[in-house]
A and B are shown apart, each in its own frame.
Chain A
C-alpha cells in the first residue's frame, strides 16, 4: 500500500498564490497607508486614526457614502429585476430571437463604460439632447434630467443599471436552465399563477446565482467612478456625489492619499459586512 500524498493543498496552491499575492495582499498594503500621514505619497509620519477621524467628521464625505450605497442598491435591485424578467422570457423561448435578445442585452455590458456614459449624457442633455429633440418632434415639453437633484440621481441609477443588466441576465438565465420545466408545468396544472410559480419555484432554485450576481453588481456599482464622473460630475450641487467619486477626487485631485485610503478602508468594511450577510446564505446552500 503506497502512502498517498494529499494532492489537494498542492493543487490549490497556484490559484492561491495569485489571489493572495495580487489581490489580498495589495489590499492590506493599501489599508496600511490609511494609518500614515501622506504628503504626495511620501509617508511623513504615523497618523494613527487621524485620517479616519478627518474622514468621518467631514459631512460631505459621509453623505457621499450614503448616496453611494443608496445609488448602488437601487441600481442593483433594478438590474436584477430587469435581468430576471428578460432571462425568464428568453428561457421559455428558443431559437434566433432568444439569441438576439441575449446579444442585445449583453451590448451595454461589453461597451466601453466611458463611451456608454457619454452617449447617455448626450441623450439626456438639455436643449440639444437627443431625448428632448424627440420630445419636441412629438410636441411634448422638454425636460432636463440632469439638471435637478432628484432626476439627476435617477438618471445616474438608470445608466448604472443599464450597464449591468447584461451580466445579471446571463447569470440568471444560466440558473434558470437548471430549473426543470416539469416543476413549473405541474404547478401550472395545479392552478398556480405566474407570480406564485416564480416566487415559490423559480426564485428559490436560482438563489445562488441571484445572490452572487447581485452582490457583484452591487460592489461594481459602489466602486463605479466613470459613470458619475462623466454623467453628472457629482452635481448638481453634490446631489450625485457618490463615495466612489469623492474617493477618486480625494486621491487624484487633492492628493490626500492617506485620507483616501482611510475612506477606502471604511467602504471596504461596509462591503465586507454586506458580503458576510450573503455568505451565510451561500454557506447554508454549500
Chain B
C-alpha cells in the first residue's frame, strides 16, 4: 500500500513538473513578457476574431523578437471585476480589455495609463485624425486618452429584408409609429415553419442584458438619460412616452410576445435564427453569427438605424465596445504600449476587418478597403460605421453607471408584468439607481 502511494505520488510530481514549464512568468532568454486579459482565445483559432488576434500577435512578435505576448483568456463578465481586484493586489495584466460600463471607474481609480505618454505624443496630427472619432474620445479626461476601443458594437435594429419585401413595407421607417405598424404587418403565422412570428423581438429578462428598446426611443427625442452630476434622468416625458410605446408593443399591438419578460437577448437571437421574429433589437457584431445559424435566407439579415422623429432621418442607437488599455502599474509599460499601438496599426486593422468581421478603427482603412465594404454582404458594416459616426449615444464615463441596463429592463418588466404606470415605474428605478450611486 505504501509503495503504491509512493509510486502514485512520484507520477503526479513528474506529470506536474512537466506541465510547470508554462506557468512561470519570466520567459526564457530574457524576453519581456506582456500579459493581456481578454475574452478572445487565439489558441488554435481558425476563424473570426480569435484568428485575427492570433495573426496580429504573430506579426508583432516577429517584428519584436524580444517581446512575448501572453494572452490569458478570461470570463468576460467577471474579468473587469477581477482586474479591479488584481490592481489592488498588484498583479494586474499589462494590457486589459475593460468592459464598457466600468471604463469610467477604471479611469477614475487611476488603473489605466494615459496613451499620450505611451505613444500618442509621437503621432502626427494627421495620424491622430485617422483614428479620431467618438470612440477615441470615449473616456477622454483632461485632454488625455486612456483606451482604444476594439470590438466596436452598434445596438440598432436587425431585420429581415425578405419579409420587408414580401409585405411591401416602406423602408426605411420614417418614424417609430411606422416601425410598429410595419411590425404589425409582419406578425402572423409563418407559412413555412408554422411558428407564430412576431414583428419585433426584444427581451426584458435580466440574465444577459442589453439596453431595452425604449432607451433608444427616448434618446432619439431627448438629450441624455443621465444628468451631468451622475444621477439618472429617467422621468422625462420622452422616457415616459417611450416606455408607454414599448408597453403598447406588447399589449396593444402584440408585435412582441409577453414572454419577452423572461427572455434574455441570447434567447431572442436564437429564436430569430429559427424564424420567430421579423425584426429584433440587436447588436451589429452578431450579424455574422446570425447569418451562420439562420434557418432562412442568411443574406436577408441586415441592420438599420432606429427611426428618427421627423427632424432627423434616423434615431439614436447605442455604441459599445471593449476599452483596451494599459495597466498604469505595469512593469513592462512601454512594451505594452507598443502592442496596444500595433493592435490598431493599418495592417492589424485590416485583419480585424477581414478575419474578425469588425468595423475598422481607422478611417484610412475604410477608404483603402472600399471595394470590400461595397459588397452587399458587408452592407451591415457600412451601416454600422454610419451609425458610429452620426446616430450613436455614448454612455458616460465621467461617473459610475452600474447596472443601468438591468434597471431599465426591470422597468420594462414592472410595466408589462405588474401593469405599473410608466412614470411610477421609472421614478422608482431612478430613485433606486441614485441611491446606489450615493446621490
Contact = CB atoms under 8 A, between A and B. Distances in A.
Decide whether A and B are members of one complex: yes
Interface of A: 39-42, 121, 125-128, 144, 146-147, 152, 229-230, 232-238, 249, 251-256
B267 A125 contact: yes
A152 to B, nearest CB: 7
B56 to A, nearest CB: 30
Given A127-B276, A233-B206, A236-B417, A255 B259 contact: no
30 contacts: A40-B109, A41-B85, A42-B109, A125-B267, A126-B257, A126-B259, A127-B196, A127-B259, A128-B195, A128-B276, A144-B259, A146-B259, A146-B262, A229-B207, A232-B207, A233-B205, A233-B206, A233-B207, A233-B262, A235-B262, A236-B262, A237-B261, A237-B417, A252-B78, A253-B402, A253-B406, A254-B403, A254-B436, A255-B81, A256-B436
A121 to B, nearest CB: 8
B414 interface: yes
A121 B205 CA distance: 13
Contacts of B78: 252
A236 B206 CA distance: 9
Contact of B205 (A127, A235, A251): A235
Interface of B: 77-78, 81, 84-85, 87-88, 102, 105, 109, 195-196, 204-208, 257-259, 261-262, 264, 267, 271, 274, 276, 400, 402-403, 406, 410, 413-414, 417-418, 436
A151 B276 CA distance: 24
Contact of B402 (A229, A232, A254): A254
A150 to B, nearest CB: 13
Contacts of B267: 121, 125
Nearest to A39: B109
Contacts of A238: 410
Contacts of A128: 195, 271, 274, 276
Nearest to B108: A40
A251 B85 CA distance: 12
Contacts of A232: 205, 207, 262
Nearest to B209: A233
A253 B105 CA distance: 12
A236 B259 CA distance: 9
B67 to A, nearest CB: 30
B195 A255 contact: no
Given A144-B259, A237-B418, A252-B78, 8 more contacts: A127-B195, A127-B276, A146-B259, A147-B261, A233-B205, A236-B205, A236-B417, A237-B413
B402 A255 contact: yes
Nearest to A149: B417
Contacts of B206: 233-235
B207 A127 contact: no
Nearest to B106: A40
Contacts of A127: 195-196, 257, 259, 271, 276
Contacts of B208: 233
Contacts of B274: 128
Max count, chain B CB within 10 A of own CB: residue among A125, A232, A234, A253:
A253
B207 A236 contact: no
Q: Which 9 A-B pairs have the closest CB atoms?
A: A233-B207, A233-B206, A126-B259, A254-B402, A233-B205, A146-B262, A236-B261, A237-B413, A253-B403
Nearest to B109: A40
Contacts of B436: 254, 256
Nearest to A125: B267
A235 B271 contact: no
B196 A235 contact: no
Which of A233, A238, A249: most chain B Cβ within 10 A? A233
A128 B262 CA distance: 14
Nearest to B194: A136
B88 A42 contact: yes
B427 to A, nearest CB: 16
A253 B400 CA distance: 11
A251 B80 CA distance: 12
B205 A252 contact: no
A133 to B, nearest CB: 11
A255 B262 contact: no
Contacts of A42: 88, 109
B261 A255 contact: no
B59 to A, nearest CB: 35
B87 to A, nearest CB: 8
Contacts of B414: 237
A234 B81 CA distance: 21
